[in-house]
């Protein structure tokens, strides 16, 4: 009984102690010692000590469990987002690790996706952009200028050629920068004797005396522009930068300007720092003054980033595409200083320009120009111009204007001397139009070559205007009309025909529209058909007033007459197929007009100075007043024109010459007819045209 009570009391005491501080987790009940009363034995002191020791251990275990539970609770509060805290549960730790594992792999996959996307953007989606950016740093595309085609005459003699030239320049800034850089490497690398030796050798090769001798320039000038300062600290970047040459001429000092590549090679082969060579082609004209307005000139192309040149006038402009060809493009490797190191590959091949062969005979061209210059200076004229045409083909054999300029030196060019007067300028032609008035008369059927016209009393009144001849010619035929250049007879023919008869014939011969030459800036002229009541206009157009033409149109029309009424369109290009020819007048009528015009160069005619010994010459003079911009005509300024053909029996050549505002003489027979004589005499000789008239023999 006592043992049971003792055990019970012991249990109660234990329970009471436990209730005071409840423990969490699994608790193991302490072993209880059997009561002494039950066993009949009394407890010794050792037993009491053993019991107390066990109680103390139990208390410590309970205290440790309480601390552990508190720590676990604290972790739960801090890391609740990682999973549920489970204290000492093994399953709770596994759930926590699984969540952490998923989170880490999720982050890793996101980063991997971003890396893959970035790599795709750089290497696939936008690969070309970055490739181009990288290529720009180490490569550049250089234009390879094509060779411009030549312009030649009909005998393949060059009239315009492209000569290869070079310009060698020196950059004092680049030279000084290289000098200081080599000095810095030598000073900062004392432990590398091989490197120092190489740099010293390069430094020794930068002797300005060598460059001065090769470029034939003063060495003192080179030293002055480079301004090398041996006292600066080359390791101080700011000091070096301040010592480098700056200002005008610090990056460009011409050493050799526009020299042949062989001469430029003597300097560029030195491989001298700061020396650069630029190669290009320059247009050269072997016969500049006679051809300047015809061939034109070259000018800088504003649309070319590299400052290329293009044809700006004349044949150079008209056939720019054929002459220029296509420039090539080369990919070159460059260094950090943007200097070309070597060519990598040809991107676009260079296509040389084609040669253009003209119908011009350079011999006749020179003769024509010299005679125009001679007459222009003698007559103190404003200018003079002329053309020679092959009757059988329409080819232009010569075309020149004075005054001219040296097309190799454009500083001589002005707005006046660059004009191709024969093609660009329009004017009232005067009496050179009378053969076409006769052509309209014959074509009408109302007149024949022998028809007579009454010009008495040497004048005629039309709408309040008086039209006069120089003399009272009386009754004259068509030949006399042309020989004496009768205005009265021309007026009577025009008024007897329909209102549009004269202008219709003029247009039929090509007046009032551009010639097939299609020269840049060519004038078209103006032929206005008068109304029935406009009798004054009908009269004036019959003798060359009230209309505007170009000298090229006059040459083309006279060539058609000389060819027996067949229009051979003018051409300047030898190899081009010209437009088809067409008949515009009956052969018999055309040749009868040519025969009438022979009297103009014979005794009693207005152009006896145009006659050529041994040849029958047909032609017509035109002396007209110059228009006054303020209204009406000048009373003291004239224009002289002569158009002729040789030999008249079977015309081969047509020549048309004009002198503007002569001050020595005022009549075409005295000013421009001698020019025709001098030029055409040589032309007939050069082309071996047989005589068609006995040579004159001097009396013994």
Q: Which candidate in 431, 542, 559, 624 is catalytic?
A: 431
pLDDT score of 484 more than 60: yes
Instruction: In whole angstroms, give the CA distance from residue 131 to residue 144.
Output: 24
Structural domain boundaries, residue 531: 362-406+421-687
355 located within any domain: no
Per-residue model confidence (pLDDT) at position 575: 79
Per-residue model confidence (pLDDT) at position 389: 98
- As a whole number, the mean pLDDT across the chain is 85
List pLDDT tens digits, range 514-528.
999 999 999 999 999
543 located within any domain: yes
222 located within any domain: no
pLDDT confidence bin for 577, thresholds 50/70/90 = confident
Whether a cis peptide bond, with omega within 30° of 0, leads into 611 is no
Q: How many domains does the chain have?
A: 1
pLDDT confidence bin for 441, thresholds 50/70/90 = very high
Would you call 431 a catalytic residue per the annotation?
yes
Write the CATH number for 674.
3.40.710.10
pLDDT confidence bin for 13, thresholds 50/70/90 = very low
Question: pTM for the complete prediction?
Answer: 0.75
339 located within any domain: no
574 located within any domain: yes
Instruction: In whole angstroms, give the CA distance from residue 281 to residue 304.
Output: 15
Per-residue model confidence (pLDDT) at position 65: 66
- The least confident of 257-261, 382-386, 419-423, 505-509 is 257-261
Per-residue model confidence (pLDDT) at position 136: 65
| Among 676, 657, 596, 595, residue whose Cα is nearest residue 429 | 657
The DSSP 8-state label assigned to residue 147 in this structure reads: P
Per-residue model confidence (pLDDT) at position 1: 44
Per-residue model confidence (pLDDT) at position 582: 94
Per-residue model confidence (pLDDT) at position 163: 87
Q: What is the mean pLDDT of residues 610-626?
A: 95
Per-residue model confidence (pLDDT) at position 545: 94
| Among 362, 425, 367, residue whose Cα is nearest residue 659 | 425
Q: What is the mean pLDDT of residues 395-416?
A: 94
Per-residue model confidence (pLDDT) at position 566: 97
569 located within any domain: yes
Those residues whose C-beta lies under 8 Å from the C-beta of residue 618, and which sit 6 or more positions away, are 562, 594, 595, 597, 598, 600, 601, 644, 645, 646, 648, 651
Instruction: In whole angstroms, give the CA distance from residue 592 to residue 370.
Output: 34
The DSSP 8-state label assigned to residue 380 in this structure reads: T
Percent of the chain with pLDDT over 70: 83
Instruction: In whole angstroms, give the CA distance from residue 469 to residue 483.
Output: 12
């Amino acid at each position: 009984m006592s043992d049971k009570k003792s055990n019970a009391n012991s249990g109660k005491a234990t329970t009471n102690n436990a209730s005071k501080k409840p423990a969490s987790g699994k608790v193991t009940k302490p072993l209880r010692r059997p009561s002494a009363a039950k066993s009949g034995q009394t407890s010794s002191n050792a037993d009491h000590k053993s019991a107390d020791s066990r109680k103390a251990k139990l208390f410590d275990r309970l205290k440790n469990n309480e601390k552990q539970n508190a720590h676990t609770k604290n972790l739960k509060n801090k890391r609740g987002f990682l999973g549920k805290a489970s204290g000492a549960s093994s399953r709770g730790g596994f759930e926590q690790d699984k969540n952490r594992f998923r989170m880490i792999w999720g982050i890793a996959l996101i980063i991997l996706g971003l890396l893959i996307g970035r790599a795709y953007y750089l290497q696939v989606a936008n690969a070309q952009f970055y490739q181009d950016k990288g290529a720009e740093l180490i490569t550049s595309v250089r234009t390879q200028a094509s060779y411009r085609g030549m312009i030649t005459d009909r005998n393949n003699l060059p009239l315009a050629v492209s000569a290869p030239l070079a310009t060698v320049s020196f950059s004092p800034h680049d030279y000084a920068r290289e000098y200081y850089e080599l000095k810095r490497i030598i000073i900062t690398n004392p432990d590398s004797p091989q490197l120092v030796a190489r740099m010293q050798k390069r430094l020794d090769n930068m002797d300005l005396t060598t460059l001065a001798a090769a470029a034939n320039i003063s060495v003192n000038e080179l030293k002055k522009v480079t301004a090398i300062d041996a006292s600066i600290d080359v390791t101080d970047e700011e000091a070096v930068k301040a010592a480098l040459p700056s200002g005008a001429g610090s990056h460009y000092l011409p050493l050799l300007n526009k020299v042949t590549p062989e001469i430029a090679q003597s300097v560029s082969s030195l491989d001298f720092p700061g020396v650069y060579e630029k190669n290009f082609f320059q247009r050269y004209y072997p016969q500049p003054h006679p051809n300047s307005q015809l061939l034109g000139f070259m000018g800088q192309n504003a649309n070319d980033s590299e400052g290329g040149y293009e044809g700006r006038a004349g044949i150079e402009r008209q056939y720019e595409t054929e002459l220029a060809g296509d420039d090539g493009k080369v990919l070159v490797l460059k260094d950090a200083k943007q200097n070309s190191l070597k060519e990598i590959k040809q991107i676009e091949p260079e296509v040389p320009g084609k040669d253009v062969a003209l119908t011009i005979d350079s011999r006749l061209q020179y003769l024509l120009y010299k005679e125009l210059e001679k007459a222009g200076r003698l007559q103190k004229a404003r200018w003079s111009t002329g053309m020679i045409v092959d009757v059988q083909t329409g080819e232009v054999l010569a075309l020149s204007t004075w005054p001219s300029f040296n097309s190799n030196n454009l500083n001589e060019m002005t707005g006046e001397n660059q004009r191709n007067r024969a093609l660009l300028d329009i004017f009232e032609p005067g009496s050179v139009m009378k053969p076409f008035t006769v052509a309209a008369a014959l074509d009408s059927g109302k007149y024949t070559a022998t028809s007579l016209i009454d010009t008495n009393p040497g004048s005629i009144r039309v709408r309040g205007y008086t039209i006069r001849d120089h003399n009272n010619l009386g009754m004259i035929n068509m030949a006399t009309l042309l020989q004496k250049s009768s205005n009265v007879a021309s007026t009577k023919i025009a008024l007897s025909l329909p209102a549009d008869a004269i202008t219709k014939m003029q247009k039929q011969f090509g007046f009032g529209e551009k010639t097939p030459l299609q020269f840049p800036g060519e004038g078209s002229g103006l032929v206005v058909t008068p109304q029935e009541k406009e009798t004054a206009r009908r009269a004036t157009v019959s003798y060359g007033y009230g209309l505007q033409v170009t000298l090229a149109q006059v040459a083309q029309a006279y060539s058609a007459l000389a060819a027996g009424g067949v229009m051979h369109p003018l051409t300047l290009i030898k190899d081009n197929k010209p437009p088809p020819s067409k008949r515009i007048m009956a052969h018999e009528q055309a040749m009868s007009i040519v025969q009438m015009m022979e009297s103009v160069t014979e005794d009693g005619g207005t152009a006896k100075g145009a006659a050529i010994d041994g040849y029958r010459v047909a032609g017509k003079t035109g002396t007209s007043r110059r228009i006054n911009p303020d209204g009406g005509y000048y009373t003291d300024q004239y224009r002289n024109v002569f158009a002729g053909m040789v030999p008249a029996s079977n015309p081969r050549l047509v020549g048309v010459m004009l002198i503007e505002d002569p001050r020595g003489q005022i009549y075409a027979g005295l000013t421009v007819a001698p020019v025709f004589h001098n030029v055409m005499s040589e032309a007939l000789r050069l082309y071996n045209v047989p005589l068609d008239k006995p040579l004159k023999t001097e009396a013994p």
